[in-house]
Every structure is written in structure tokens, then in C-alpha cells.
Chains A and B, each alone.
Chain A
Amino acid sequence: MSIKLGEVPYKDRVQTGIEDDFMRQAVSSAQGRFRNGRLTQAAELGNWEDWRELGSEIRTHTLQNLDYYLQQLSDNVARRGGHVFFAETAEEANQYVKNIIKKKQAKKVVKAKSMVTEEIGLNKALEEVGAEVVESDLGEWILQLDEDPPSHIVTPALHKNRQQIRETFAKKKGYTGSDTPEEMAAFAREQLRQDFLAADVGVTGCNFAIAESGAVTLVTNEGNAEMVTSLPDTVISVMGMERIVPTWEEMEVLVGLLTRAAVGQKLTSYITAITGARLEGEIDGPEEFHLVVVDNGRSKILGTEFQSALHCIRCAACINACPVYRHIGGHAYNSIYPGPIGAVITPLLEGYDDHKELPYASTLCAACTEACPVKIPLHEHLIRHRQIIVEQEKKAPTAEKLMMKGFAKWSSSPGIYNLSAKMAKPALGPWTKDGMIENGPGPLKDWTDARDFYAPQGQSFRAWFKQRQKDGETS
């Protein structure tokens, strides 16, 4: 079980992303639209910073009292006829769900889009016990048919174009229509409708659990989560343990932040809160409801300086604001959580060994921090990661360590600094032409591979200033 996508080295993944013209065009235009949507919504509210502050306060309070609210939630789910399972690991969570599938002798499982089930590798686990698993979110369904991982947490198939999708439909489902999005969506509707009706079990994620009622809130535009929770007789919701709010009032605030920040909508077409099993006389909804609360490494983050990373409501605003993501795409992060939030939480959940490049895949421009609707200081977390990689994990390159030692000496000794200011121009002289360096030595080489470097203009400012003072005194 792993949130890692594969074994391709970082440099190669970046290169693959950069060479994928369609993906880059698609990501760039999607980012533009999402970003404009978010900014338009924020402007319309007029006091967006107040909203972010409120979001942040709600998340902070909830995480600080997470044990209390999870207890309240589980009590209420049970009171409303549901079962709750607390899973410390992905394996425990999968095993619990597998047991239900076996007990129910379920043949078909329909799923609504869920990042946490991606994270724990639930689909694979369920296929092991012989269940057919069908993803019902259009984007997820496309990826499932094509056996491709998501590249974005809100629009998972962003990297695919319509011709690719048509081919996948044709190959896997015998589709013979055109590649217009409308026709393909109609085909998906027809196919998946049969799956919904035939499914024995429905599996969902959870956007926000509401502790006071034991409700699980699901946010979609397609209506697939509603199908998944209404038609099968058994429904299993899997939630990351931090996806919880105290009451309906906080759910409302966070849902509004989520839909605005994610897709620029005031609300999505469907926001649904499902509480426990169906009541006496009700036809729709599960007669058996299970809630699986997943830790899977999250508790390691709790109580640390990274705790606010658990405030994330998976809106992808940081991803949509990130210029690095725009150029390399989601797969380059090699995690089901890409972009800035992915670079922060992936090493926390899975360690640095496989993900040590991620904290450096950022210019620290802070566009992510600015976009985050619950004020996670994402770029500061990336710096903290770098500190850990350098100081605790000792994974920094030797040359870099030496350079930084030199830096410390240089910048804390005015004498050495002075000397370097004096020496910079003559030292770079051999490489300098018309005040520019086009082919630099040593550490300058990576720079001058892509751009020219400015040689020192003349004497240093401090030398000039000293001269100016002297001239002033003598004149």
C-alpha cells in the first residue's frame, strides 16, 4: 500500500512532464480557469480574508480536539445504526472493507471519487477478494479503464485529451461514438447507471464528517456520490481521520470554502449529508452503513510543527496556483497527492526516502500559501522539510553542505565578505564579456546553461560608498 505512483526517478518524471505538450496546455488552461473562478468568488464575497481566517480557526480547533470529536462522531454513527471502524493502517482499513465484501458476497462495488481510498489502495484490495470495483466519477472512471493514476485531486483526468478518452472507451467498453465530450459523457451515464443499479456495495470517501450528528458530507457535481449512497444496500464511507467538523455550522463554512476554492462555485450541484443506516420505512439508502476512520500516518503529523497540514480540505487551490505544477504536471510528484500540498504531506505520510526531492520542487513563491482557503503555510512547511532533510535526515548533497558552511562563514565575517566583494569582479573576469557571463564556471554552469549571468558592474557598492565618504570629507 503506497501513495507513491511508481519507481521512475524524479529527474525523468520531470522531463516526461515537460515534454508532454498536451498535458501542459491542459493544465495551464485548467489552472487559469480554476484560479479565475476562485478569485471571482473571493472578490464577490469581498471579505475573503475573514473567510480564510474563519476556516483556519475551525480547522485549528477541530484538530486540537480531534479525539473528542471523533468519539462524538462515532457515538452518533452507532446511535444512528451505523458501524464504525478505526483503522490505524491502510492494511487494517482494507481488511475491514474486504471482510464486509466477503460477508455480503458482494460482486459489484460502486465507488464515488475519494482520495483516501486511492491512498490506501482499496480498489486493488477489493479486487483481490473477487469484487468488481467501478469508479463512478467520470474522470476516475476514465482513469480506471485506462489503468492510469490521477494527476490532480479535483479533476483527476486533467492530463487526458478527448481522443485518448474515446480510444479508451472504444477499447474497454466497445464505444463507437464520436469524441465530443457530450456524447462520451452520455455513454458514461448509460454504462454507469447500470452499475449503480446492480451494485451490492457502495463506497465513498468523506469531505466532512459532522460530529454532532454522525453525518458524512459528500460534495459532487455529477451526482455520483448520491447514487452510490442511495441505491446499494450496503454503504461504506472511508474518511481520513482529520476530515471532521464539530457541527453543521462549521460544515457549511468549510463546504462553501471548498467549492469556491476548488471550482469557483458557490456550492456544487450536490452536497449530501448521509447519517447512519436508512430509517424504518425508507427505501433508498443503505440498510447497513459502515464508517472507516483512517489514520495511515496522519497521527505522526499531529502535535508537530506540521499539524496545520492536516487542515487541508483537498480543494486543490494550491495546485491550481502553483507554477511548478503547471510545467511538470501531477505525475511528476509521484504521489497521489501532487502539487504543493502533496509536496508537504507525501514525505510526512511516507517518509523522505522516496520523496526527498518534493520539498525542493518549489520556488517558495508562496502562491500556494496565498491560495489556501484554510491558511496552511505551505511554503513554510516546505522550508521545514528542507531543514529536516539537511539536519536530521542528512540527505543533502556534500557539495551543497560545504557551500552552505562557506556561506555561513562568509556572511558572518564582514572581513571575508569585504574581500569577496572586492574580488568578485576580477575573479569572474576570465568568463566575462560585455559585462555578461554566458558560460559560467562551477556552480554558475547550471545557471548559464539556460540564461546569461550578470558580471559585477564595477566596484562594489561599499567600495563606492567609502570613496564617496572620503570625497565628501576632503571637499
Chain B
Amino acid sequence: MKVSLFSTCLSDILFADVAKNTLEILERVGCEVDYPMEQTCCGQPAYNSGYLQEAKQSMKQMMKAFKHSEYVVGPSGSCVGMLKEYPKIFADDPEWAEEAKRFAAKCYEITEFLVDVMGVTDVGSTFKGKVTFHSSCHMKRILGVKEQPKMLLRNVKGVELVDLPMEEDCCGFGGTFSVKNPVISQEMVSEKSRHVAETEAEYLVGADMGCLMNIGGRMRREGKNVKVVHITEILNTH
């Protein structure tokens, strides 16, 4: 199966290992993976801040970059969720409406792709440790991907998965929210950090680097000794 990797700008620039792990997992389950170099950002920072025109420019760039891809797979529920919104955003744009629909239909978040498209629930990895999972808001509510990451995690040898209290709650990142409403954001992430600590897990696992760098950055500031890892790291350890 031919897959184009959507690294997300965050993983491309700050967390290259996340994209590397995603690539290697895809190859391991038998995909032929390419990486269109014209890709940039899904446009979410501008879109969620109300800058529709600006957002559309990056969205068009993304549609161009992946025009010839069969599948587009990325390691972020939030960014892939954004791609899935393109048809709505371009619905009244005769030039892009059709392309937006075609594009959105081939986009998948990595755990969703593994479970729903490849039919893989066990990637054959081994990872020793007690982990808890933060389910990111856009992944579960906008993309509707809830069970797939946990199915994959449960099948990793050595992983002990414990429930995170108030798992459904937002971590307070919210993109520009974290800098526009820093006081509220801090309260929210502190609460999340408390809940993570309560689980006594060694690792906090998530499928979105945005949330993870928020929670991880806070926990490090608080001196908490919990390691924050993207799910692809666990799925690619063997």
C-alpha cells in the first residue's frame, strides 16, 4: 500500500522522532511510504484564531502537496482532524470544493490507519512500563478516533495501561489559547498534571504532540518525573 506521510509541522521541526517512528511503523506493516516535500502546516493555528483567509493559503498548499497521494497518514489527531474539515471550509469555493473532499477522504491519523485500514491491532512491539493515556480532544471529538490507540497500546508487550482520571478533559493547550489565555491555560494544565501524577504512571502517552508538549512542559516545570512519549515511540520499540 502506498502511503504519504504527513509529518505535521510540529513533528517535522520540533519532534522529528515522532515522524521517524511513524514512518518506520508504516513500513513495518508493509506500506511503501513517501514524504511530499511541499507539505507545510494544516492551517489550524490560523483557522482556530479566526484567520480564515490566511488559513486557506496553507490549506491549499497542503492539498497541492498531497494531490497525487493515495493515503495521507499523520501522527496527530488534531492536525488530521483539521484536514478533515477542509470540505466544510471550501464548500463554497468552486475551484477547491471537490479537491477538498477528495483530499479529506484519504487522510488518516496513524492509529486510525493501522486499525481501520490495515487491520492491525498488534504491531509486535515491546515496551516495558506503566503508562497512562491522554486522549486528545480533537482526535476523539472531531476525528472520532477513541478506541484505536488504546487497542494498539494494550497489545504492546510489557505495557501496563492505567486509566487517567478525567481523561476526557482538555489539557488547556488549545493552540493560541495557551498564550491568549495563559492564566486559564495554566490552571488547566496544572490540573491535568495532577491527574497524571495520581496514576503513578512512569509514562504519559498521547497521540498529539501539541497536548504532550503542554503537559510535559508543565510537569517538567513542576519537577514531576513522568516521561512524556508519543504513542508512535511505544509502537516502534521492539
Do A's and B's CB atoms come within 8 Å in the complex? yes
Which A residues are within 8 Å of any B CB, using their own CB?
Answer: 11, 14-15, 18, 323-324, 327-328, 359-367, 369-370, 383, 385-391, 396, 400, 404-405, 407-414, 417-418, 420-421, 424, 436, 438, 443, 446-447, 449-462, 464-466
Contact B182 A450 (CB under 8 A): yes
CA distance A456 to B11 in the complex (A): 9
* Distance between A115 CB and nearest chain B CB, rounded to angstroms: 25
* Distance between A36 CB and nearest chain B CB, rounded to angstroms: 12
Query: Please, which residue of chain B has its CB at the minimum distance from the CB of A17?
Result: B184
* Distance between B133 CB and nearest chain A CB, rounded to angstroms: 16
B155: Cβ under 8 A from any A Cβ: no
Contact A361 B184 (CB under 8 A): yes
List 13 additional A-B contacts (Cβ < 8 Å) besides A412-B57, A461-B16, A461-B19. Answer: A363-B188, A366-B141, A407-B51, A411-B46, A414-B40, A436-B220, A446-B179, A447-B178, A447-B179, A451-B221, A452-B221, A455-B14, A457-B14
Q: Can you identify 26 A-B contacts, CB atoms within 8 angstroms?
A: A323-B169, A323-B172, A324-B188, A327-B187, A361-B181, A366-B137, A366-B141, A367-B170, A383-B48, A386-B48, A388-B50, A391-B53, A408-B53, A409-B57, A411-B40, A411-B61, A443-B179, A447-B217, A450-B185, A454-B213, A455-B14, A456-B13, A457-B17, A461-B7, A461-B11, A462-B7
Contact A450 B184 (CB under 8 A): no
CA distance A391 to B51 in the complex (A): 8
CA distance A446 to B46 in the complex (A): 18
Query: Please, which residue of chain A has its CB at the minimum distance from the CB of B14?
Result: A456
CA distance A434 to B17 in the complex (A): 17
A464 / chain B contacts, CB cutoff of 8 Å: 16, 20
B200: Cβ under 8 A from any A Cβ: no
> Chain B interface mostly helix, strand, loop or mixed?
helix
Of residues 147 through 177 on chain B, the ones whose CB sits less than 8 Å from some CB of chain A are: 168-170, 172-175, 177
CA distance A459 to B217 in the complex (A): 21
- Other-chain residue from B19, B23, B47, B138 in contact with A383 (beta carbon distance below 8 A): B47
B218: Cβ under 8 A from any A Cβ: yes
A412 / chain B contacts, CB cutoff of 8 Å: 40, 57-58, 60-61
Query: Please, which residue of chain B has its CB at the minimum distance from the CB of A408?
Result: B54
CA distance A293 to B172 in the complex (A): 40
Contacts A328-B184, A383-B50, A459-B16 given; does A451 touch B138 at CB 8 Å: no
- Other-chain residue from A18, A327, A408, A460 in contact with B57 (beta carbon distance below 8 A): A408
Contact A400 B49 (CB under 8 A): yes
B238 / chain A contacts, CB cutoff of 8 Å: none
* Distance between B59 CB and nearest chain A CB, rounded to angstroms: 9
Query: Please, which residue of chain A has its CB at the minimum distance from the CB of B218?
Result: A451
Contact A457 B46 (CB under 8 A): no
- Other-chain residue from B142, B180, B181 in contact with A366 (beta carbon distance below 8 A): B142
Contacts A452-B221, A460-B13 given; does A363 touch B61 at CB 8 Å: no
